[in-house]
Structure 1
Amino acid sequence: MEAYNVILGVDVSKRTLDISCAERLEHIQIENSSKGFSVLKKWCKSHEINVRESLVILEYTGGYEYRFLQFCTAHQIAFCRISGLEIKRSMGMIRGKNDKVDSFRIGQYGEEKIKRLELSKPLNNNILKIRQLLSFRKRLVREKAGFIATIKERRYMYQVSQKDTVIRIGTKKVKQNEQYIQEIEAEIIALIKADASMYQNYRILTSIKGIGPINAWMTLAYTENFTSFENARQYAVFVGVIPFEHRSGTSIKGKNRVSHMANKELKQELNQAAKTAIIHDPEIHTYAERLLKRKDYSLVLNNVKFKLILRMFSLVKRGEMYVENYKRVA
């Protein structure tokens, strides 16, 4: 990696960005918006920081950093996104936490690891659109489920007819949401098909038993078409399917556990994929049966999710569709 005059550590949240230069002990908090970015430019100028000769280090949050990264790309500012868990583990045991302190720690991490860091690629606008559509689709699905639950409860509790006002409006809302969901899904597919590489990876993902369209869309969106994670293990850590050892010396020995920083939405979506794979994929079925002899079902499900992630990354890397060639031994 080329030399940079200044390394800026950035702690990202939904509404604000805490930005620090650990070497100079400088810090600023700005809004995570165009207005805030203008303040940042003035701050850099007043502190004689040439942004084009600076490197921004920030955590991969899976969304909140996108607006800032668009600003960085537009102003030719180099940036590197790092897994939050990787930064946390590199610091060892630390005491105290706030956004300002975190931004300094991120900056220090960048200064220490600068020789092995690789610049992150510019954001793909299609990926951003897919993320936004998936987020809105999720909201519509939840709203639809809420209306369905209300209709069922009202029919059961009050035994009303279809002409009941609540039933009538609720039914209409359910149908409307179904139409909107179909419209959003059609646009997602169109965006994927417009990008040859993304469409190829989408076809690879959906060739895997258990991985349906929604899981494929979410995987493409959160891995940014397999460009934001170096390997399957990094993504598995982000999703939260790899437990880590919890121990300190000889006195503290806790159970292995996944990080609380994991993306629970992705993990939940993979649950159904794992259950389907256990039923319909002979190799995974045998694998799960073997593990169930010594592990709880929830742990086995976690193992299957990791196996699916490994399979996704491996096939995408090779550019090959999944082909079932497993024969169960009688």
Structure 2
Amino acid sequence: MKTWNVVLGVDVSKKTVDICWSERKLFVHIDNNSEGFGKFKKWCKTNLIDLRETFIVLEYTGGYEYRFIQFCESQSIAYRRVPGLEIKQSMGMIRGKSDRADAFRIGQYGEDKIKRLEPSKLLDNKILELKTLLSFRKRLVRESAGYQSSVGERKHMYEVSNQDMIVRISNEKRDANSEYIKELESRIMELIKSNEQMYLNYRIITSIKGIGAVNGWMTIAYTENFTSFPDARHYAVYVGVIPFEHTSGTSKKGRRRTSNLAQKELKQELNQAAKTAMQHDPEIRAYAERKMQNKEYGLVLNNIKFKLILRMFSLVKRGEMYVENYRRSA
């Protein structure tokens, strides 16, 4: 494992970047643009920081960090993105908050954990665009559902017709969103088809009963085409379908339950996939009927979600389409 001479903590916002070398209590505040990155390089030179021997730790911010990451990749600087909650929970009791203090704490986290932190993989621009398109599609779908709900409530409360101004405008916006959603979905499929391995994996996982197009797109995006998780279990923990033990000594003996720390959007989509699989997959339907004789519906549904994840990873690893092999017993 490579030894890093310098570990820098970086706190990124929309317009600025705060960078701290906590070991020497050095700090620089720059703009989140090319001019600011030039200032960062000068600061490193002044403080005798060799960027080839430097490891940068920064939080996921939902997009603000991508410009800085692109700079790091252009300069061959090693970096690692870490969930903010992981950093926060590792620091114990914290009082006060500022961008400078956050950068210092991120730097401290990096220095404490450097032995187990591996550099992040290079950004895949197609995966990045896929995530962005899926996020915007989700916004439009929710917006359309809101318009549909408003129309239903208004008609129920005031007994108005489709010519009512609010009803008409809501319907027009919903119809427009439907066209935009189709356009987005077309671009999503275009992106997936542009990569042979990505398209193959998409076809494999959507051959599984219950896994439709949206689940397929999201799985490809968030597993980064099945490269960012070592196995199905790690992905299942990320999604939030693996139960964990909840006991303490002899006084607390709680039943195993899933963690609230999960990617809930993926979990919600898998929820619908599991329900569909229970209806249309004979093997899973038989499994559910057998388990529900002595287990709660929610627990059985969660087990089915895990089964679907196991199937996806297994089939992708083998490069095979799903084949139904269920045989009804005599």
Given the superposition, is the C-alpha separation of residues 157 and 223 from structure 1 closer, same or farther in structure 2, using an over 3 Å criterion?
A: same
| Separation (CA, whole Å) in 1 of partners of 2:32 and 2:244 | 32
Corresponding residue for 1:179?
A: 179
One-letter amino acid matched to 1:144: S
The answer for unaligned runs of 5 or more in structure 1 is: none
Given the superposition, is the C-alpha separation of residues 48 and 253 from structure 1 closer, same or farther in structure 2, using an over 3 Å criterion?
A: farther
Secondary structure of the 2:120 match is coil
Secondary structure of the 1:216 match is helix
Deviation at 1:284, TM superposition (A): 1.8
Q: Which one of 111, 119, 130 corresponds to residue 108 of structure 1?
A: 111
1:111-154 deviation per Cα after TM superposition (whole angstroms, max 9, x unaligned): 2325xx4x432111111111111111111111111111111112
Given the superposition, is the C-alpha separation of residues 169 and 84 from structure 1 closer, same or farther in structure 2, using an over 3 Å criterion?
A: closer
Answer whether contact 1:19 1:27 (CA < 8 A) is retained.
Answer: yes
Answer whether contact 1:21 1:107 (CA < 8 A) is retained.
Answer: no
Secondary structure of the 2:323 match is coil
Residue 220 (structure 1) aligned with residue 213 (structure 2): no
1:185-242 deviation per Cα after TM superposition (whole angstroms, max 9, x unaligned): 0011001111111111111111111111111111111111112222222222221112
Given the superposition, is the C-alpha separation of residues 279 and 273 from structure 1 closer, same or farther in structure 2, using an over 3 Å criterion?
A: same
| Separation (CA, whole Å) in 2 of partners of 1:246 and 1:13 | 37
Within 5 Å, which residues of 2 pair with 1:51-66? 51-58=51-58, 65-66=65-66
| Separation (CA, whole Å) in 2 of partners of 1:87 and 1:241 | 23
Answer whether contact 1:120 1:228 (CA < 8 A) is retained.
Answer: no
Corresponding residue for 2:302?
A: 302
Deviation at 1:87, TM superposition (A): 7.2
Within 5 Å, which residues of 2 pair with 1:205-244? 205-244=205-244
Bigger Cα displacement from structure 2, 98-107 vs 274-283: 98-107
Corresponding residue for 1:2?
A: 2
The answer for unaligned runs of 5 or more in structure 2 is: none
Corresponding residue for 2:320?
A: 320
TM-score normalised by L of structure 1: 0.84
Given the superposition, is the C-alpha separation of residues 85 and 151 from structure 1 closer, same or farther in structure 2, using an over 3 Å criterion?
A: closer
| Separation (CA, whole Å) in 1 of partners of 2:197 and 2:286 | 33
Answer whether contact 1:130 1:221 (CA < 8 A) is retained.
Answer: yes
Within 5 Å, which residues of 2 pair with 1:18-37? 19-21=19-21, 23-24=23-24, 26=26, 37=37
| Separation (CA, whole Å) in 2 of partners of 1:9 and 1:169 | 49
Corresponding residue for 2:199?
A: 199
| Separation (CA, whole Å) in 2 of partners of 1:104 and 1:242 | 31
Given the superposition, is the C-alpha separation of residues 127 and 84 from structure 1 closer, same or farther in structure 2, using an over 3 Å criterion?
A: same
Given the superposition, is the C-alpha separation of residues 259 and 34 from structure 1 closer, same or farther in structure 2, using an over 3 Å criterion?
A: farther
Secondary structure of the 1:2 match is coil
Deviation at 1:37, TM superposition (A): 4.5
| Separation (CA, whole Å) in 2 of partners of 1:18 and 1:237 | 32
Residue 329 (structure 1) aligned with residue 329 (structure 2): yes
Corresponding residue for 2:159?
A: 159
| Separation (CA, whole Å) in 2 of partners of 1:217 and 1:29 | 38
Answer whether contact 2:59 2:81 (CA < 8 A) is retained.
Answer: yes
Answer whether contact 2:8 2:54 (CA < 8 A) is retained.
Answer: yes
Given the superposition, is the C-alpha separation of residues 244 and 10 from structure 1 closer, same or farther in structure 2, using an over 3 Å criterion?
A: farther
Corresponding residue for 1:44?
A: 44
| Separation (CA, whole Å) in 1 of partners of 2:21 and 2:163 | 65
The RMSD of aligned alpha carbons is: 3.1
| Separation (CA, whole Å) in 2 of partners of 1:35 and 1:192 | 35
Number of equivalent positions: 325
| Separation (CA, whole Å) in 1 of partners of 2:32 and 2:254 | 38
Answer whether contact 2:238 2:263 (CA < 8 A) is retained.
Answer: yes
Given the superposition, is the C-alpha separation of residues 10 and 196 from structure 1 closer, same or farther in structure 2, using an over 3 Å criterion?
A: same
Deviation at 1:181, TM superposition (A): 0.5
Percent sequence identity over aligned pairs? 59
Answer whether contact 1:209 1:276 (CA < 8 A) is retained.
Answer: yes
